[in-house]
Amino acid sequence: MSLLAISKIAWAVGVVAWYVLRIPFQRKARRQSVKDARHRNLRDMTLLTISTLGLGVIPAIYAATGWPAAASYPISTVQVVAGIIVFICALRLFWATHKAIGKDWSVTLEIKEQHKLVTDGIYAQVRHPMYSAFFLWALAQLLLLPNYVAGPAGLVGFGILFFFRVGREEQMMREAFGAEYDDYMRRTKRVIPGIY
């Protein structure tokens, strides 16, 4: 099997593992009733679609067909190994954040009945560790897919979701939790401990 085939398969396995990991958490979260869904709107759905295009659809087309071929470059072993390591770290972090937020998780911006603010464990390091995990996934995609369009598509797609969403999410959390979230914001950075 070629190195390129191995790399594409590693990417696909990572993506499938991501969705499988989420299933039990999604079940639990669905049973929880929603208190504030004002931010579950067309804007947020559009952002989710853009992110899915970049992390899922565009790289899947490339992995299956090689399109766009003109944007491809030769792959290196170091790149593939690094990509697999980063994807494993992303999955581990993703799982830890789901475990921490539990039933209060939602794919769009929502506040649940009896929503509990989490500020300990992985959430003591940064305010948005699940988004950190998505950035690591996008970085793994960049490393695993040697194509100037399909590789960076995840960083662009998820980057758009993140930057257009994160301010609104923090606003929503401040409305729901008041001073408790303000304090939490003072103590923590968004996605990279100590930096941003």
Residues 154-193 that bind ligand SAH (CB under 6 A): 169, 173
Using CB under 6 A, count the residues that bind ligand SAH. 17
Structure tokens at 25: 């958490």
Binding mask 99-138 for ligand SAH (x = CB under 6 A): --x--xxx--xxx-----xx----x----xxxx-------
Cβ distance to ligand SAH smaller for residue 16 or 117: 117
Beta carbons within 8 Å of 169's beta carbon, 6+ residues apart: 39, 109, 128
Q: What minimum distance in Å lies between the beta carbon of 75 and ligand SAH?
A: 31
Q: What minimum distance in Å lies between the beta carbon of 189 and ligand SAH?
A: 12
Task: Annotate 146-168 with b (16+ C-beta within 10 A) or e (fewer).
Answer: bbebbbbbbbbbbbbbbeebeee
Q: What minimum distance in Å lies between the beta carbon of 55 and ligand SAH?
A: 15
Beta carbons within 8 Å of 16's beta carbon, 6+ residues apart: none
The phi-psi region of residue 73 (left if phi > 0; otherwise alpha if psi is between -120 and 50; otherwise beta) is: beta
Q: How far is residue 120's CA from residue 125's CA, in Å, rounded to a whole number?
A: 8
Cβ distance to ligand SAH smaller for residue 47 or 104: 104
> Which positions lie near ligand SAH, rule CB under 6 A?
97, 101, 104-106, 109-111, 117-118, 123, 128-131, 169, 173
